[in-house]
Amino acid sequence: MLDMLVSGGTIVSPRGRVRADLGVKNGRVVSVGEDLGEAREHVDAAGLHVLPGLIDVHVHFRDPGMTAKEDFGSGSTAAAVGGVTTVFDMPNTDPPVSTAERWRAKYEVVAPKARVDFGLYGVVTQDNGAELTAMADEGAMGFKLFMGQTTGDNPCPDDGVIFAAFRTAATLGLTIGAHAENNAVLQLLKRELRAAGRTDPRAHLESRPAFIEAEAVSRAATLAAAAGNHLHIHHLSTREGLQRVVQARALGTRISCEALIGHLLLDDAAYESQGNLVQLNPPIRPAEHVQALWEGIAARTIDCIATDHAPHTGEEQACTDVWSAVGGFIGVETLLPLLLTQVAAGRLELEQLVQLTSAGPAAIYGASPQKGSLDLGADADFVLVDTQRTAVISGQQLHSAHPVTPYEGWQATGMPVATYLRGQCVARDGVPVGDPRGRLVKPRRVHRATA
Ligand code: DOR
Ligand code: ZN
C-alpha cells in the first residue's frame, strides 16, 4: 500500500511533461503512471502541474549570529511556502563557517528550525586550508569562495590559497562556489567614487563594473582547470563573465554558473525607482547584461537560477548613503511565482524552469539523484502549481522576518498551491503546514583525478 497517491496532475521534468499519477512510500517516489493502487492519503492534482521541489543553491538565512535579519525558521518557512524544498545556506554567518566545529555548531542551531531540507556550505578563508576536509567529513555541501567583499566582510583569500583550496576540493569531490569579483579593483573604484563625493545608489554599480567580474571568472576558471575541481560561479551577472564561462567550458574546465532571479528581472533603472533597496553584490546591471543572461538561459550556457535570498533589517534597508547601505534582498518565496510568470509570458518553458531550479542545482552540488527530480527512488519533494492562478506580490504576505521586496505590486501568473517534502505537506495556499521537519542533505562526492 502506498503512503500517498498524487493523482490527475501533469508531472514536469526537463525531458517533458506527462499526465500521470505519482506514488509515494517512505518519503520517496516509488511509482509513476496509471492505476498505481491503494494509498493511505490521496492528493488531488487535477488541473495542476507537479514540479520537483525547487532547490535554491544560494540563500543567506543568517543563522547563527545575524538573526535580527532572518533566522532559519523564517527563511525556511518562506522557502516552503514558495515551493522551494531544498536550500543550500551560505557560510557568511556570525561566526563564519570556517571550521568543522563551527559547521557542526551551525547545524545544531539550524536543524530544529528547518521547514525544508538544507545543505550547509563552509567558507574558504586565508588560513583554514586544514579545515576543509574536516568540514567535508561533517557533511558540508561544498565551499564558498568570496573573491570580492560583501556582507560579513570576510577577507578574500589570495590566489595561492584559492588554488590550494581548489586542489583540496578536487580531492574531496566537492564543488567550490565563487563570488567572482576582483576585490582590489572594486576597492580602488569605491575609494575613487567616494572621494569624488558620490553618494547616490548608482555609484554602487559603477564601483563594480563588468570587467571585474570577467577577470575574477577567468582567474578562478584558470586555476580550477589546473586543479581539476568543479567550479561554480554564483550570481553571474555580466555578458563578459558569461563569455569567460563559455570559453573555459570549451577548454574542458569543470565549470557551471548561476543567474539570480534579481539579475534576470531588474535592470539599472531600479537605482532610480528603488534606490539602495536593490543594492546587490554583484550589482543590478544595465539591460544589455540582463539580455545576455536571458540569451545564456536560451542557449543553456547558464546552469541554474538561484535567489541570493539576502535579508536585512528594515532599518538597514532604509539607509540612504550608498557606501553604508547593505547589499542584497529577499527572494526565496517569490522565485517560483516570478519564474512561472516568465513561463506564462512565453520567455521560458516549464521544462527549462525545472532544469534550472531542480535538476541543474542538484547536479552542480552533487545532491542528485536524491534531490532535483521525481524519478523513481528520488525524495518525494514536489510542488503543485496552478499555472493560471494570478496574484499580486506583496511583502505583507511573505514569511521573511523583514519582508521588503523589490517586486512589491508585481503581477504574478502561476502560483504554488501546495509544497510536499519527502511526501508530507509543508505548505498550502501561502501558509506553512505542520512542524519543521527539514533534514540535512549531504553531497554525493564526485572524485576526479587531478592534473
Ligand atoms: O548582495 C549580496 N548580499 N551579495 C552577496 O554576495 C552576499 C549577500 C549577503 O550576504 O547579504
Ligand atoms: Zn549571496
* Contact by Cβ (8 Å): 205, 284: yes
Provide the pLDDT for residue 450: 44
Those residues whose C-beta lies under 8 Å from the C-beta of residue 67, and which sit 6 or more positions away, are none
323: left (phi over 0), alpha (psi -120 to 50) or beta: alpha
> What Å distances lie between residue 420 and 21, 152, 380, 425, 426, CA to CA?
15, 33, 7, 4, 6
Question: Which among 207, 205, 202, 204 is positioned nearest to 187, based on CA atoms?
Answer: 207
CATH topology for the 2-50+377-432 domain? Urease, subunit C; domain 1 (2.30.40)
Which atom of ligand 1 is least distant from the CA of 327?
1
Q: How far is the CA of 329 from the centre of ligand 2 (A)?
A: 10
Buried b (16+ CB within 10 A) or exposed e, 228-256: bbbbbbbbbbbbbbbbbbeebeeeebbbb
Which atom of ligand 1 is least distant from the CA of 179?
6
The C-alpha atoms of residue 373 and residue 52 are separated, in whole angstroms, by: 5
Q: What DSSP character marks residue 172?
A: H
Q: How far is the CA of 335 from the centre of ligand 2 (A)?
A: 15
Q: Ligand 1: residues within 6 Å at CB? A: 60, 92, 150-151, 179, 280-281, 308, 310, 327-328
Q: Residues within 5 Å of ion ligand 2 by Cβ?
A: 308
Which atom of ligand 1 is least distant from the CA of 312?
11
Q: How far is the CA of 164 from the centre of ligand 2 (A)?
A: 23
Boundaries of every domain in the chain: 2-50+377-432, 53-364
CA distance from start to end of the chain:
51
Phi, psi of 142 (to 5 degrees): 160, -170
Q: How far is the CA of 60 from the centre of ligand 2 (A)?
A: 6
Which atom of ligand 1 is least distant from the CA of 60?
10
Total-model pTM: 0.98
Provide the pLDDT for residue 447: 67
Q: Which ligand is nearest to the CA of 281?
A: 1
Q: Please tell us whether the domain made up of 53-364 is placed in CATH 3.10.105.10.
A: no
pLDDT tens digits, 392-447 = 999 999 999 999 999 999 999 999 999 999 999 999 999 999 999 999 999 999 76
Put the strands of the sheet holding 28-33 in their side by side order: 28-33, 21-25, 2-7, 39-44
305 pairs with which residues across the strands?
259
- SS3 category, 316: helix
The C-alpha atoms of residue 234 and residue 174 are separated, in whole angstroms, by: 15
* Residue ranges in the chain modelled with pLDDT below 50: 449-451
The C-alpha atoms of residue 240 and residue 258 are separated, in whole angstroms, by: 14
Residue with CA nearest ligand 1 atom 10: 151
